[in-house]
């Protein structure tokens, strides 16, 4: 029988092992870490992964690359199906062994993950398993990052601001009001926020609202209700924000490097 627990893949003498699982809406992995790198690929539903440095949204068709040894928690929004590829640390590029990033999963990577999931865990070294593993690693290394990262600043005052918005994304304070709230000048807030997260405060807040919109829709809310829940008067206003985020991708970092904090 094929293993069904992640622990069963930690010590296999193969560079890549793939496990397919399903979870009900609202389930949580709890805080944990793995001795191997992990590619968490959502084939249905939406997952939200958190670390001490930020939050990553993983919608259907995307995957989160998690470095070995990094403590994280994953929550499920809507019923979720996913494939996890457990990756030997030495098989990853240096950058991917140190920082999380969300990637778009190509049809080729999708097919390779499914094919390796159908192979024995200890696949034949002379069979197709090693070729599938090499293809998976190549596709991961060359996959573009996507703007689904929500980094958290290390500055205590700025992190308090971020936590307030995470709990209530519809709050409408402008940047001057937030600067007064945390006791710094507007200039200091904007400079420190960008230095610590790689994003402007406005771009960070738009990402937060997009994240919450995806979560609410995965839980069954209509776009209209999700828009209101995150502070937009209409779905049209939310769609304008989403288009603006697309433009911002030309100017902001697509992923978040946890080494910044």
Nearest to 167 by CA among 224, 217, 231: 231
List per-residue pLDDT tens for the chain, 261 residues long: 677 788 889 899 999 999 999 999 889 999 999 999 999 999 988 899 999 888 888 988 899 999 999 999 999 988 899 999 999 988 888 767 778 889 989 999 999 999 999 999 999 999 999 999 999 999 999 998 787 888 889 888 898 889 888 888 888 788 899 899 888 899 999 999 999 998 899 889 888 888 888 888 888 888 888 888 888 878 887 777 777 765 555 444 444 343 333
pLDDT of residue 49: 92
pLDDT of residue 6: 83
Residue spans of beta strands (DSSP E) within the chain: 16-23, 37-51, 54-59, 62-66, 73-87, 101-104, 149-151
Tally of helices (H runs) and strands (E runs) in the chain: 8, 7
For the chain, the farthest-separated pair of C-alpha atoms sits apart, in whole angstroms, at 65
pLDDT of residue 8: 85
Q: Could you write out the DSSP letters of every residue in 50-85?
A: EETTEEEEEETTEEEEE-TT--BEEEEEEEEEEEEE
**Rounded to an integer, what distance in angstroms lies between the CA atom of residue 147 and that of residue 198?**
12
Domains in the chain, start-ordered, CATH in brackets? 6-142 (2.60.120.280), 153-260 (1.10.10.60)
pLDDT of residue 111: 96
Query: Do the beta carbons of residue 143 and residue 109 sit within 8 Å?
Result: yes
pTM (two decimals): 0.76
pLDDT of residue 248: 56
**Rounded to an integer, what distance in angstroms lies between the CA atom of residue 115 and that of residue 65?**
19
């Amino acid at each position: 029988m094929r293993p069904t627990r992640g622990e069963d893949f930690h010590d296999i003498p193969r560079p890549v092992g793939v496990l397919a699982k399903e979870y009900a809406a609202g389930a949580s992995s709890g805080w944990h870490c793995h001795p191997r790198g992990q590619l968490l690929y959502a084939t249905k539903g939406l997952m939200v992964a958190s670390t001490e440095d930020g939050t990553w949204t993983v919608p259907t068709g995307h995957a989160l690359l998690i470095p070995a040894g990094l403590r994280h928690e994953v929550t499920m929004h809507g019923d979720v199906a996913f494939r996890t590829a457990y990756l030997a640390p030495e098989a990853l590029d240096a950058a991917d062994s140190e920082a999380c990033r969300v990637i778009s999963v190509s049809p080729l990577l999708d097919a390779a993950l499914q094919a390796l999931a159908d192979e024995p865990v200890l696949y034949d070294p002379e069979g197709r398993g090693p070729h599938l593993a090499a293809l998976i690693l190549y596709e991961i290394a060359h996959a573009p990052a996507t703007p689904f990262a929500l980094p958290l600043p290390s500055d205590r005052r700025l992190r308090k601001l971020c936590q307030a918005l995470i709990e209530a994304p519809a709050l409408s304070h402008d940047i001057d009001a937030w600067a007064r709230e945390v006791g710094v000048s507007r200039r200091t807030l904007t400079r420190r926020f960008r230095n610590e997260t790689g994003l402007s405060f406005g771009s960070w807040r738009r990402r937060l609202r997009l994240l919450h919109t995806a979560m609410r829709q995965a839980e069954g809310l209509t776009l209209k209700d999700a828009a209101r829940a995150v502070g937009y008067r209409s779905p049209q206003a939310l769609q304008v924000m989403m288009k603006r985020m697309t433009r911002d991708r030309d100017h902001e970092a697509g992923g978040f490097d946890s080494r910044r904090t």
